[in-house]
């Protein structure tokens, strides 16, 4: 995988982490990287300025600045639309996944060596681990996965983690809908229902250091959106869109 990887980082007020993310990705994966797309989701801190300085030094870094309304789904869809036509693979990560930068290698090795279309960094398979994961978020996560396993028969354990490495074609073939955090569930569930083979590799997930700010996820505000993902997936499964192209 030489200069075939497009990485999308979504960022909203991540001035304390974005520089570390860019430094880590460039140092560890410069050979594989075609581009790093940072989608700044209307940050009000120095996030965009930091990325701009990196971009001046390295042409692989691209900054896209969004205006409100904000949202993880909106930012990801903007990133998807901005991926170079030369990219064969796309990696998505949150901009506070500093602890996970070293684990990108496991995803790259898996997609290069295994017969699969995409790889999910999973916190809930053997070898995976979560540190300081809020109890109610874990309950909601496990409830979502229990539901989709029952309804759709999927086998994956961590569809909602925004730590995914996919063949680029997947991004152009799915009817993405969510604007908020539930988009992370869509990017896991919809490709599975479309017939793409997604495997999981274990990763260690560490909740952000308090010095890096607070998570933007709010359980009550975003919980209903995950139900809408399931309903959207049910409609997709009944339609022709559930058939993988050229399958």
Reported as a single tens digit per residue, the pLDDT across 143-199 is: 999 999 999 999 999 999 999 999 999 988 899 999 999 999 999 999 999 999 999
pLDDT for 58 equals 97
Say whether pLDDT at 132 is over 90.
no
Distance CA 36, CA 237 (A): 33
Strands (E), 114-173: 118-122, 129-131, 164-167
DSSP H or E segment with residue 10: strand 5-11
Alpha-carbon Rg of the chain, whole angstroms?
17
Domain residue spans of the chain: 5-242
Structure-token pair, residue 60 = 């692989």
pTM of the model: 0.90
CATH number of the domain at 5-242, out of 3.50.50.60, 3.90.550.10, 3.40.50.300, 3.40.50.720? 3.90.550.10
Contact yes or no for 94/76 (Cβ under 8 A): no
- Lateral strand order in the sheet of 89-94: 61-66, 33-41, 5-11, 89-94, 164-167, 118-122, 198-202
Say whether pLDDT at 223 is over 70.
no
Please state the length of the chain: 247
Contact yes or no for 121/157 (Cβ under 8 A): no
């Amino acid at each position: 995988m030489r200069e075939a990887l497009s990485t999308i980082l979504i960022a909203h007020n991540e001035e304390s982490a974005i520089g570390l993310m860019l430094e880590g990705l460039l140092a560890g994966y410069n050979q594989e990287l075609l581009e790093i797309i940072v989608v700044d989701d209307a940050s009000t801190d120095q996030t965009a300025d930091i990325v701009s300085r990196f971009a001046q030094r390295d042409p692989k870094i691209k900054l896209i600045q969004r205006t409100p309304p904000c949202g993880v789904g909106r930012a990801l869809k903007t990133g998807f639309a901005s991926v170079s036509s030369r990219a064969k693979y796309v990696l998505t990560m949150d901009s506070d996944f500093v602890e996970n930068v070293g684990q990108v290698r496991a995803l790259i090795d898996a997609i290069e060596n295994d017969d699969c279309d995409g790889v999910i960094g999973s916190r809930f398979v053997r070898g995976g681990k979560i540190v300081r994961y809020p109890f109610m978020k874990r309950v909601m996560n496990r409830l979502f996965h229990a539901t989709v396993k029952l309804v759709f028969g999927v086998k994956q354990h961590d569809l909602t983690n925004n730590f995914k490495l996919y063949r680029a074609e997947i991004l152009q073939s799915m009817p993405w809908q969510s604007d908020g955090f539930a988009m992370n569930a869509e990017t896991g569930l919809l490709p599975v229902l479309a017939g793409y083979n997604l495997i999981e590799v274990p990763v260690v997930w560490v909740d952000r250091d308090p010095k890096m700010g607070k998570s933007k996820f709010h359980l009550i505000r975003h919980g209903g959106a995950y139900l809408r993902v399931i309903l959207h997936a049910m409609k997709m499964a009944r339609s022709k869109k559930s058939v993988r192209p050229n399958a």
